[in-house]
Amino acid sequence: MRARYDIAIIGAGIAGASLAAEIGTSASVIVLEAESVPGYHATGRSAAFWTESYGGAGVQPLTTASGAYLQVGGFLTKRGALTIAREGDEARLEAFAAQFAALGVRVEMLDRARLEAVMPGLKPGWASGAFEPDCSDIDVAALHQHYLAAARRADTHIVCNARLIAAMDDRSWRLELADGRTIIADILVDAAGAWADEVAAIAKVRPLGIAPLLRTVAQIRTSPPPPAALPLVLDLDEQFYFKPESGKVWLSPHDEVPSPPCDAGADELGVAQAIARFGEVVDWTIERVEHRWAGLRCFAPDRLPVYGFDPANPRFFWCAGQGGFGIQTAPAASRMAADLLLGRPIGTVDPHAYRPSRFG
């Protein structure tokens, strides 16, 4: 390990790993991970899917631009996504579908009869659905390991158990770690996920208000088992989503519970809410809850990710606030961030909406 680097990245989750892979051949890079393994928190707990409407219209350009990389790399398995609406909400669902269709997303409207064909046991009250055939499951572990391996091939040093406790900026960064080690770097990248604002505060950079929100997921066994071809099912009102997984159902109440940065555990109220809401959709019997877990999704105040140099410190770079869409946007987001960080011509996605300077 060197004593000095061009760039130090705090965090080895999907954000830090993908960025390191993109810049490692152009700069000397070290990635500092506080945990004993990379991706321990949000990245390692994600039930990720690639869905162009997920995250809203502001995130869609990054998701769409990431699709080819994920597909060619073999990280996607076709699933399909179905956003469903209750009786009386048909116009809202049509507006949702029209918004994304106008952005080039493939969306097909399904009436009640076609919904029943997709979801046997659908309860009364659900009137229509918007089907996105291109939605796919993401092999999160394989994608994360792909980026870590690419970073290492570029001679990036990835150091675990390396918790940052102090950062002094005097024309370069002097980074003090909890174990007494010191790292010198010209640029400090904040890819610390739920700890992004804490890292900024350590570096005496104004935090942006990036808030960790807890998301609960449960694996349940049902009778009958879910159809293998069942798409990812989402609620127009964002009250739940679920999908089949190896004969079981992965289910979330789409909760967003404010949380401090932590090793998140499943919220029992969230599990109960998920089960109750699932029971409003289909008449399947829940035999038991087999597993439950949680992760922290982190959002800036406007719920868009943050990429770019801090307006008050040109040696501090934000790579944070990826919400629940950091994995599905990683290929395009890391390329865009690398272009900004290295001063290269910007590629296909305009970074303006994601710059930290938008917060004043």
**78-136+211-299, what's its fold?**
D-Amino Acid Oxidase; Chain A, domain 2 (3.30.9)
For the 4-45+140-210+301-359 domain, the top CATH level (class) is alpha beta
- Can you list the residues of the chain whose pLDDT is less than 70? 1, 41-47
- pLDDT, tens only, 295-341: 999 999 999 999 999 999 999 999 999 988 999 999 999 999 999 99
- Domains 4-45+140-210+301-359 and 78-136+211-299 belong to one CATH topology: no
pTM of the model: 0.94
The whole-number pLDDT of residue 48 equals 79
The whole-number pLDDT of residue 66 equals 98
Q: Where are the domains of the chain?
A: 4-45+140-210+301-359, 78-136+211-299
The whole-number pLDDT of residue 191 equals 98
- pLDDT, tens only, 59-82: 999 999 999 999 999 999 999 999
Beta bridge partners of 128: 85
